[in-house]
Amino acid sequence: MAFKLASSPHLKVKLQTQTVMRRVIMCAIPGIAAQSYFFGIGVLVQILLAVIVALAAEAAVLALRKRAIMPTISDNSAVLTAILLAVAIPPIAPWWLVVIGTLFAIVLVKQLYGGLGQNIFNPAMAAYVMLLISFPVQMTSWSIPTVIAQNPMDISLTLQAIFGSMSAEQLNQYKLGFDGLAMATPLDTVKTDLALGLTMTESLSKPIFSDGFGIGWFWVNMAYLVGGLVMLKLKVIRWHISAGIIGSLFICSSFGYLLSPDTHVGPLVQLFSGATMIAAFFIATDPVTAATSIRGRLIFGALIGVLVYVIRTFGGYPDAFAFAVLLANLCAPFIDYYVKPRTYGHRTGN
């Protein structure tokens, strides 16, 4: 009997990489649609920019490496990386931001390590962290949800904002909500309010939390949750990592909220604000950079959930999923080494 050796990703379902990536992209469509509805057409513009740059960058690197271009590009991995990065960037961020991030993800994080199956970090999250540290103002300047914006942006104004033909004064007007304040994500709003001495109740009483979770963010997370459940049904991903993330984040935030409800966000807000569901189903489940055994995947997911809670609660970054995923990527080989299944027939000593 001959055994076939192959590099990661390792999936039990007999699907080609191209098919797996295409299904993941299709399952992300509900979340992308929800983001576009609540935060404007800029979401789609950023995705289009990222995809074009990702394909061009991967083709250029493959040409330099004298590798076949079309077989690699057609596996859709570069497209998925571009999409995951683009939806994490503010919809009206300047065009060069997504270009720099996409080049970093494809050229340095993916291809520099040898391409798909060889990279040790999730490319989209590594690029996101690089952008967040290098350009914090641009990466945290989210626009107000369109449903409550004083001046909703049409496609023409969106393109002007992204490609720099709109003045700073005009752009600031479109970042104002009905309370006249510049928009931040719900988790960022809570963290800022707590630093200013407000209680959790006072922070959550702001109009942006009129639905209890942050206008738009609950439905965006629900849409990604639906897409993630479809992926589980199609057996594109396994449930262990997602369950580990959601379970550990829920448990940690429940304990924190019970101990100090005035300074800790409740578990439901933790789960349905920020990037929780897209990270739990679409990012952390990357088979290349995650743990591989069943117990390993559960530990990997639980580690991400704990790290997210710790960074969100005590750190300086309000969402924290990108940092948590990268730290867990570093731990994946260590986790696999210590929880690898026992060899059949192996006898332990007394």
Give the pLDDT confidence of 325-337 residue by residue, as tens digits.
999 999 999 898 8
Q: How confident is the model at residue 179 (pLDDT cuts 50, 70, 90)?
A: very low
Mean pLDDT, rounded, for 60-74: 88
pLDDT of residue 21 exceeding 70, the answer is: yes
Mean pLDDT, rounded, for 292-308: 94
pLDDT of residue 18 exceeding 80, the answer is: yes
pLDDT of residue 178 exceeding 50, the answer is: no
The answer to which of 108-122, 144-158, 302-316 has the lowest mean pLDDT is 144-158
Residue 180's pLDDT is 40
Residue 151's pLDDT is 67
SS3 letters across the chain? CCCCCCCCCCCCCCCCHHHHHHHHHHHHHHHHHHHHHHHCCHHHHHHHHHHHHHHHHHHHHHHHCCCCHHHHHCCCHHHHHHHHHHCCCCCCCCHHHHHHHHHHHHHHHHHHHCCCCCCCCCHHHHHHHHHHHHCHHHHCCCCCCCCCCCCCCCHHHHHHHHCCCCCHHHHHHCCECCCCCECCCHHHHHHHHHHCCCCHHHHHCCHHHCCCCCCCHHHHHHHHHHHHHHHHHCCCCCCHHHHHHHHHHHHHHHHHHHHCCCCCCCHHHHHCCCCHHHHHHHHCCCCCCCCCCHHHHHHHHHHHHHHHHHHHHHCCCCCCHHHHHHHHHHHHHHHHHHHCCCCCCCCCCC
Residue 6's pLDDT is 53
pLDDT of residue 39 exceeding 80, the answer is: yes
Q: Which amino acid is at 253?
A: S
Reported pTM: 0.86
Q: How confident is the model at residue 94 (pLDDT cuts 50, 70, 90)?
A: very high
Could you read off the pLDDT of 191-226 as tens digits, one per residue? 777 777 887 777 777 767 766 677 788 899 999 999
Residue 341's pLDDT is 65
β-partners of residue 176 are: 182
**104 vs 293: which has the higher pLDDT:** 104
pLDDT of residue 242 exceeding 50, the answer is: yes
Residue 343's pLDDT is 59
**Sequence spans of domains, the chain:** 16-183
Residue 2's pLDDT is 54
Mean pLDDT, rounded, for 133-149: 79
Q: How confident is the model at residue 181 (pLDDT cuts 50, 70, 90)?
A: very low
pLDDT of residue 4 exceeding 60, the answer is: no
Residue 103's pLDDT is 96
